[in-house]
Structure 1
Amino acid sequence: MIFRTDLAIEATETITHPFPDISQTEEQHGSCKITRIRVEGPEGAKQLNKEMGNYVTLEMPPISDTVDLEDECQELLRKEIAALLPQEGLVLVAGLGNRQITPDALGPQTTARVLATRHIKGELARVTGLTGLRGAAVITPGVLGDTGLETVEFLQGICRQLNPCAVVVIDALAARSLARLGCTVQLSDTGISPGEGVGNLRPRIDQHTMGVPVIGIGVPTVVDVETLALDLFGGDRTRTERSEERLAPRGARMVVTPREIDLLVSRAAQMLAMGINRALNPSLSVEDLTMLTAP
């Protein structure tokens, strides 16, 4: 049994001695803390079980409590997303997950609030007063069980057609610690492995498979029960293995999620969407974007 987590910041907590391939810095901005982790070589990637690249973690007050779309944490999120994006070109934004399962609905709920602008050009842009918008296309691929398509196959086809400069992928994440649920945002330039944190690994979505840079954005919404037990037992694998039948009755894997998960996912989606919208179109105000993306 191993700790399952999608968060690079939690993976570094298992390292017992420094690795030259891994660097980590921290910044405090009011109530928001930013941790930057860079994995520069194969030994560091193996140690963390993460791809080489950059991971940015924003830790903030619980998202389910409130979301202020103009506070410092929101502005920091906008800046971090903008820093990872190429400065010009069409961006494809994809929301992964199953909209019917609340802890997995972060991606679809976020893309529902992202402003699609690829079609707003020429006379339409002039008469609506929306000239100068950066091109963005938005897609919610669904899940393999509904479509029969792996998400990577779906997005590869769209990338071949649209030739975007980058793909932004939003997905719910799994954490190791309950304390990180709903108060952590992770961004990376390494892409994403859907389902990795809960043992349902699907093909990676990254620059190798897409042909363009892939930015992964996510908020942890679940903790794997076996990982939680191992963490609570202080890493005592013997005690955890003795409890394995109770942790996974009939071999069924379990996950834990907060009871306010509906509110958490809704507010996290609102926060991420506004961060993406403002990173793509900084000339538009929060008020303008809220009006343009209202249901």
Structure 2
Amino acid sequence: MGKKNVVSRTDLALEEQERVQRQGTLKGVENDCEEFDGFKINRVRIVNEEGAELLNKPVGNYITIEFDDVFSDGERFVKLIELIASELSKLIELKKDDTVLIAGLGNSKVTPDSLGPEAIENIIVTRHLKAYAKEYYEQRKLRSVAAISPGVLGQTGVETAEIVKGIVNKINPAAVIVIDALCSGRMSRLATTVQLSDSGIVPGGGVDNQRAKISKESLGVPVISVGVPTVVDAATLTADVMSRLSGKEPDEKENEAIREALTPYDENVFVTPKDIDFIITEISKIVGFSINKAVNSDISIEEMESLLA
């Protein structure tokens, strides 16, 4: 196993794969990359426990879609939604009568962490229509969708995983889709990257505030995660800047020096883009609409706009 970069803190499997690949051969990991319509799609597959240990991630599939500024280009905005929806559909097999639970994780009062709750505001929920508007539900050939924004432990006193598990036990969904803000190892990937995974998620993992894992093992149903990086930590940012200036990654000794120098600040200092309010509004719409399209493909984006207005 190659030496781990002790500075980089990231939730992105792609960045862990890049780190390990720089240090040696990837074992237990498969990866490929393609360009589609101007978007870059990276697929990382961790196939065994050796790969999981190398990348510090559970066995599973990780799809990363990288994009440039889509917020000012309506056509690319729509294309990105359709691409994410298409990739999501490949991770989750649903039957016509299945119910899907969408959970938006995070703290709505902390902007960089509010992606989950904000994305839930863009979800078309339909489960209630099956009982209260059955004719319309059947006519539109809708799939049952429920959504929840469970808050965080400090707000509720209840672990997010416990809340989600309770709802799963009650409504018996065929799958759970979890939305959360992530931590990146590169400033350039903040709000320009979406990661999809079928391996579940650990809320707060990227900022060293790990809670109980939400996964197929803990819930008993498939769990798909959708995440967008919104922060980098102080040491990671410093290492990123150093690598850009020197043209190479900091070595182990330099990593240790960076971490030690920033120890008084690192646990409490995270960096986010200055226009994060605008970014969260736009990214949450992209994520919400992508999920809508993945689970109920017949609902057009124009109709989503109308229903959520």
Partner of 1:160: 169
TM-score, structure 2 length as denominator?
A: 0.89
Partner of 1:284: 299
**Are 1:116 and 2:116 matched, yes or no?**
no
Partner of 1:179: 188
Partner of 2:16: 11
**Are 1:37 and 2:44 matched, yes or no?**
yes
Shift of 1:246: 5.8
The verdict on how the C-alpha distance between 1:81 and 1:238 changes in structure 2, with shifts beyond 3 A counting, is: same
Partner of 2:79: 72
Partner of 2:218: 209
Contact 1:125 1:131 in 2 (8 A): no
Q: CA RMSD in A?
A: 2.1
CA distance in 2, matches of 1:232, 1:251: 16
The verdict on how the C-alpha distance between 1:41 and 1:138 changes in structure 2, with shifts beyond 3 A counting, is: same
Paired-residue identity, %: 40
What secondary structure, in the 3-state scheme, does the structure 2 residue paired with 1:282 have?
A: coil
Partner of 2:245: none
Q: Deviations over 1:10-56 (max 9, x none)?
A: 00111122334111111101220111111001101000001000000
The verdict on how the C-alpha distance between 1:197 and 1:276 changes in structure 2, with shifts beyond 3 A counting, is: same
- Which one of 101, 108, 125 corresponds to residue 110 of structure 2? 101
What secondary structure, in the 3-state scheme, does the structure 2 residue paired with 1:132 have?
A: coil
What secondary structure, in the 3-state scheme, does the structure 2 residue paired with 1:284 have?
A: coil
Q: Deviations over 1:85-109 (max 9, x none)?
A: 2222100000000000000000000
Structure 2 regions of 5+ residues with no counterpart?
1-5, 243-248
Give the ranges of 4+ consecutive aligned residues of structure 1 lying more than 6 Å apart after TM superposition. Answer: none
What secondary structure, in the 3-state scheme, does the structure 2 residue paired with 1:14 have?
A: helix
TM-score, structure 1 length as denominator?
A: 0.93
Deviates more, 1:107-116 or 1:195-204: 195-204
- The count of corresponding residues between Structure 1 and Structure 2 is 294
- Which one of 22, 26, 29 corresponds to residue 22 of structure 1? 29
CA distance in 2, matches of 1:61, 1:138: 29
What secondary structure, in the 3-state scheme, does the structure 1 residue paired with 2:306 have?
A: helix
The verdict on how the C-alpha distance between 1:10 and 1:169 changes in structure 2, with shifts beyond 3 A counting, is: same
Contact 1:192 1:205 in 2 (8 A): yes
Shift of 1:4: 0.8
Partner of 2:64: 57
Structure 1 regions of 5+ residues with no counterpart?
none
Contact 2:177 2:224 in 1 (8 A): yes
Deviates more, 1:56-65 or 1:130-139: 56-65
CA distance in 1, matches of 2:129, 2:147: 13
CA distance in 1, matches of 2:104, 2:236: 26
Partner of 1:262: 277
Shift of 1:176: 0.1
Q: Deviations over 1:95-127 (max 9, x none)?
A: 000000000000000001101100102561425
Q: Deviations over 1:138-181 (max 9, x none)?
A: 00000000100110111111111111000000000000000100
In the alignment, residue 206 of structure 1 is paired with which amino acid? S
Contact 2:71 2:77 in 1 (8 A): no
CA distance in 1, matches of 2:8, 2:266: 18
Partner of 2:198: 189
- Which one of 261, 271, 286 corresponds to residue 286 of structure 2? 271
Contact 1:63 1:182 in 2 (8 A): no
Contact 1:62 1:182 in 2 (8 A): no
The verdict on how the C-alpha distance between 1:128 and 1:93 changes in structure 2, with shifts beyond 3 A counting, is: closer
CA distance in 1, matches of 2:36, 2:76: 16
Flag the structure with higher helix content.
Answer: 2
CA distance in 1, matches of 2:77, 2:67: 14
Shift of 1:238: 4.2
Partner of 2:246: none
What secondary structure, in the 3-state scheme, does the structure 1 residue paired with 2:221 have?
A: coil
Contact 1:245 1:251 in 2 (8 A): no
Shift of 1:290: 1.4
Contact 1:67 1:267 in 2 (8 A): no
What secondary structure, in the 3-state scheme, does the structure 1 residue paired with 2:80 have?
A: helix
